[in-house]
Amino acid sequence: MPPVPQPSPAPPPGPDGPPLLLGTSAFGQNERGFPVFDAYWEGGGRAFDTAWLYGHAYGPGCCERTFGAWAQSRGVEKDVWVLAKGAHTPECLPDRVEGQLGESFERMGRDSAALYMLHRDNTDVPVGEFVTVLTDLMNRGLIQGYGMSNWTLERVTEAAAYAREHGLPLPTGISNQYSLIDMVHPIYPGTETSRTPAWRAWLSEGNVRLYPWASQGRGAHALADPDELRTGPLAESWYSEANAARLHRTRLLAERTGLSATGIALAWTLSQPFPVVALIGPRLPEEVRDSLAAAAHRLTDAERDWLETGEGELPPR
């Protein structure tokens, strides 16, 4: 008998508080991480983005340990909402998933995560092998849901089809790059964007939540002069005439709203017609507060589209 078709599930409940995930990849030292984490928590932030690989070049596990030490010192281990990631290239293999997850838990001083994602894809591995391993982690209570980071739409839909066919839980989260300015060249090897018409149409079905990284354009909106995008260190991945024009339009709208240009870029990401929880990467407490202010702001459809395309005039509020 063929398996009974499953209804498309709604995305899992998101974190309490603002629709943000504070990235932990820059904080492998307590003295640098704790002030930023404190500012985020005091502003209502409850969700954190972690990964087995973060800080690996400086000391394997240093970022997870810093986050775990902060959560324990503040007594909030049970209150944080954690996105954990693992199985990064070259260890993107089904038999490495549980081992790396266990190492991440040991480093952070916890025994579960709200959401777990494969940090990269390995197209030599059939999607069913990954889905089976992730389902087992869910069944044992180690994770509440699973998803994929830096996967193509073709592989994600193939994984969802496999899960439906075999009566297994479906993926509920995607963490690919997505921002107002378009990533014209991958920042890191193996990274993927969801900023294509096909991805947008699929996300608009509402069954999977997007957790975009570089959601504010990797600092491009904070440049002293938008023209620096063409000549500075961000040029390789971010420069195009269209992106330079978006930076200028963002500043115009920022002047009207009182938000920073970086804040407007975050508001654009959060104002999409599909569910989004944005990964942010502030380095200082004041940058945290800027993002928290922007997270409460929603653009009108006209503002959102004008920022992206530049068609017409700046829409009136």
What class does CATH assign to 24-307? alpha beta
**How far apart (Å, rounded) are the C-alpha atoms in residues 305 and 160?**
30
Tell me what pLDDT residue 14 has.
Answer: 73
User: Do residues 48 and 83 lie in contact, with contact meaning Cβ atoms separated by under 8 Å?
Assistant: yes
Q: Which of 52, 18, 3 has the alpha carbon at shortest distance from 282?
A: 18
Burial code of 180-210, b = ≥16 C-beta within 10 A, e = fewer?
bbbbeeeeeeebbbbbeeebeebbeeebbbb
Where exactly are the structural domains of the chain?
A: 24-307
Tell me what pLDDT residue 305 has.
Answer: 97
DSSP-based three-state secondary structure for 156: helix
Tell me what pLDDT residue 10 has.
Answer: 54
Residue 153 CA: distances (Å) to CA of 77, 97, 119, 122, 258:
34, 21, 15, 14, 37
Tell me what pLDDT residue 7 has.
Answer: 43
Tell me what pLDDT residue 57 has.
Answer: 86
Tell me what pLDDT residue 207 has.
Answer: 86
Tell me what pLDDT residue 70 has.
Answer: 98
How many CA atoms within 13 Å lie on the side-chain side of 83? Answer: 35
| DSSP codes, 50-91 | --TTTTTTTSTTHHHHHHHHHHHHHT-TTT-EEEEEE--TT-
What are the structure tokens assigned to 120, written together? 């990269």
Tell me what pLDDT residue 2 has.
Answer: 39
Tell me what pLDDT residue 18 has.
Answer: 94
Tell me what pLDDT residue 8 has.
Answer: 47
User: Do residues 105 and 111 lie in contact, with contact meaning Cβ atoms separated by under 8 Å?
Assistant: yes
pLDDT tens for the 317 residues of the chain, in order: 334 344 445 555 578 889 999 999 999 999 999 999 999 999 999 999 999 999 998 899 999 999 999 999 999 999 999 999 999 999 999 999 999 999 999 999 999 999 999 999 999 999 999 999 999 999 999 999 999 999 999 999 999 999 999 999 999 999 999 999 999 999 999 999 999 999 999 999 988 999 999 999 999 999 988 889 999 999 999 999 999 999 999 999 999 999 999 999 999 999 999 999 999 999 999 999 999 999 999 999 999 999 999 998 887 76
